[in-house]
Amino acid sequence: MFARISSALAVLFAASLAGAQQPDFFHRPSPMAGAFMTSLATFPEVQKEAKLSADDSKKVEDLLGKMGEEMGAAFQDAGGDFGKLNVAISNIMTKTDAELLKGLTADQGKRVKELFVQFAGATVIVREDFAKDLGLSDDQKSKVNARQMDQGKKIGDLISSAGGDFASIAPDMKKLQDTYKTDLAAMLTDDQKKKLEDMKGAKFEFAKPAAGGGR
């Protein structure tokens, strides 16, 4: 539905449906699919490219189950503050992905990370791990955080206005996300943009999901 939705957008949309506890919440065709590395690792083509074993896939599913519980708690704790939820969920994603990478070989983790950067683009800079890799300054981090909070609030307002008819707000949601990605990319220096591009590794073609899927 929302082509190539980022982590924050996907979480806010899905959390508004109170679906974090559902088993398909992180998988295609959910808009949450691919919103962070652990979810991306459920894609068959990613599993093949990164040479993930059946045991690796089982670990991924276990991490997603644990994360679903944490997201549900974060949704309740936010009390309707989508800006706060946006940041909380991003932190949960970062922690979950760190656990994923610990369980993979260096080569597997490197490729999964490269594929995630290709999939998510500049929106990865809202995460502390990528902000560190790219060498964002404290001032840049502050601006990114402020924009992240603002994006969450705007999405929350849009979702509230939908009255349950999420298809009707899809065009406006995409505009919000396109502007968000542009704004985040503009916060990077030329050197950081080049570094982000280099972090993508060898170009990869993701499979096209069914309608409403996570990319």
- Residue range 29-45: average pLDDT? 88
**Gap between the Cα atoms of 87 and 85, Å rounded:** 5
Do the Cβ atoms of 42 and 60 come closer than 8 Å? yes
**What pLDDT does residue 26 have?**
82
Mean pLDDT for the stretch of residues 188-214: 86
pTM of structure: 0.81
pLDDT band, very low/low/confident/very high, at 3 (cuts 50, 70, 90): very low
From 68, 53, 64, 65, select the one nearest 15 (Cα to Cα).
68
> What is the pLDDT at residue 215?
53
How far is Cα 151 from Cα 100, in angstroms, rounded to an integer?
A: 27
With a CB cutoff of 8 Å and minimum separation 6, the contacts of 120 are 6, 7, 34, 35
More confident residue, 183 or 89: 183
Task: Say what the pLDDT of residue 74 is.
Answer: 84
Which region among 83-92, 127-136, 159-168 has the lowest average model confidence (pLDDT)? 159-168
Among 18-22, 59-63, 92-96, whose mean pLDDT is lowest? Answer: 18-22
Q: How distant, in Å, are the alpha carbons of 170, 192, 202, 209 from that of 11?
A: 15, 26, 28, 18
Run of H or E residues at 194: helix 190-198
Per-residue pLDDT averaged across 17-45, rounded?
Answer: 76
> Residue 52 to residues 16, 105, 184: CA-CA distances in angstroms?
32, 9, 31
pLDDT of 8 strictly over 50: no
Q: 145-170 as b/e, with b when 16 or more CB fall inside 10 Å?
A: bebbbebbbbbbebbeebeeebeebe
Q: Is the pLDDT of residue 31 over 70?
A: no
Task: Look up residue 162 and give its amino acid.
Answer: A
Q: Which of 103-117, 157-171, 197-211 is the most confident on average?
A: 103-117
pLDDT at 210: 57
What confidence score (pLDDT) does residue 9 get?
45
- Residue 162's pLDDT band (cuts 50, 70, 90): confident
Distance (Å, whole) CA 206 – CA 215:
9
Return d(Cα 91, Cα 41) in angstroms, integer: 18
| pLDDT tens-digit map of 68-127 | 888 888 888 888 787 787 778 888 989 999 999 999 999 999 999 999 999 999 999 999
